Structure 1
């Protein structure tokens, strides 16, 4: 198991052969891997276990959000699969988050980290107004991150632009996991709030989630190596 790789490569594929072809070009010492809803729905726990068996730390990005008992059981099942990290939606509330953390701690893999999603990086002010009127993304992130920390979780998913703010109020050990990371000059895709790897690390981000800039590169390992070198 690697402990120091700061880049989490997002495996956003609808084809397991393509995913495995990419994984064969990567190294567990250079990155962790993220499996999200599409791949997990298509290929299930066995695909996740295959990545773990190759030596990769896996972030199971399913963003559980349900009644506390249901989320707790799902998080325990994820931990017992052997994943490095799993997540929930902070908007599910403190009881849901506490029970999820307790369920992981009672599992056969209690070291699995549990983080919470604050505000999705695809949401800008206009979209957030439809859900929580009169609140900025930064204010909502700060509120939900504090709730997450108070609930005993290991960290949050947030935009790199909010990391500076969160680092001022949360302990250094509290993980900030950030999607929307794009090398300078790269296409931002559907992410609204983005930042380069170097800027993100300087902002206090713990782990960088990167998809297309690495998965669609001509040489994924070389691209990953350049990112890792830049953030040393």
Structure 2
């Protein structure tokens, strides 16, 4: 699995995604979320893998353990490199998800890595406390979910950059810290709350960063990607 910035392909159609990717000469690490997957289905993952890209299939599964386990068994056959669930589904659900992936992975192949969403980077501490009735700090909630994912033998979590170091301390450096909410210093935060630049993400302990509109909405996406890649790598 590549360590390059993960580009969020937040497009409505496959043709839009392929048009965006056409100027890039190298293989990339791309994210397929609900918007694109629900319009295009498994074909989008198959095609992106044929094109040589690593794929993060970002569906954030959250249901009863049996349902999630069976869904992951099917998703394992698509060839994605990284998949995820919501940690709020609990340890039993996360274990079922991992076991489903293992059962669905063809003999001789390595199962996709699986991570758990802790708190969305669009969620503020005040919102979490008021709407979810979680009466702790957002960092405390995120680290708790990370430790729960670790006990379920998942490979890591989705978190914000602000919690990445605490998760490294609690779960070890090999535990993935995949961080959305990445913006350039002059960029618009859009609907994200807990954001950071690529430089800060590396310094503060992210293992992978997810970048969307800072690249996909840029006047020159290839140049924007190269700028972000350089910022990410220079603090490695």
Normalised to the residue count of structure 1, the TM-score between the two structures is 0.94
Say whether 1:65 aligns with 2:62. yes
Note the aligned Cα RMSD (angstroms).
Answer: 1.3
Q: Which one of 75, 78, 82 corresponds to residue 79 of structure 2?
A: 82
**What CA distance in whole angstroms lies between the structure 2 residues aligned with 1:110 and 1:74?**
18
CA contact (8 A) 2:55 2:81 kept: yes
Q: Which runs of 5+ in 1 are unaligned?
A: none
C-alpha displacement of 1:148: 0.2
**What CA distance in whole angstroms lies between the structure 2 residues aligned with 1:146 and 1:6?**
25
Q: Deviations over 1:30-79 (max 9, x none)?
A: x3000111111111111121111101110000000011111011112112
What count of residue pairs does the alignment treat as equivalent? 229
In the alignment, which residue of structure 2 is the partner of 1:208? 209
In the alignment, which residue of structure 2 is the partner of 1:114? 114
C-alpha displacement of 1:6: 2.3
CA contact (8 A) 2:2 2:54 kept: no
Q: Structure 1 residues 132, 215: CA separation in 2 closer, same or farther (over 3 Å shift)?
A: same
Say whether 1:35 aligns with 2:32. yes
CA contact (8 A) 2:121 2:192 kept: yes
CA contact (8 A) 1:124 1:137 kept: yes
In the alignment, which residue of structure 1 is the partner of 2:195? 194
C-alpha displacement of 1:15: 3.0
Q: Deviations over 1:132-167 (max 9, x none)?
A: 242221111011000001110000000001112111
Q: Which runs of 5+ in 2 are unaligned?
A: none
In the alignment, which residue of structure 1 is the partner of 2:227? 226
Q: Give the match's secondary structure for 1:9.
A: strand
Q: Give the match's secondary structure for 1:25.
A: coil
**What CA distance in whole angstroms lies between the structure 2 residues aligned with 1:133 and 1:230?**
35
In the alignment, which residue of structure 2 is the partner of 1:16? 14
C-alpha displacement of 1:26: 2.8
C-alpha displacement of 1:27: 4.6
C-alpha displacement of 1:181: 0.4
Normalised to the residue count of structure 2, the TM-score between the two structures is 0.93
**What CA distance in whole angstroms lies between the structure 2 residues aligned with 1:8 and 1:28?**
13
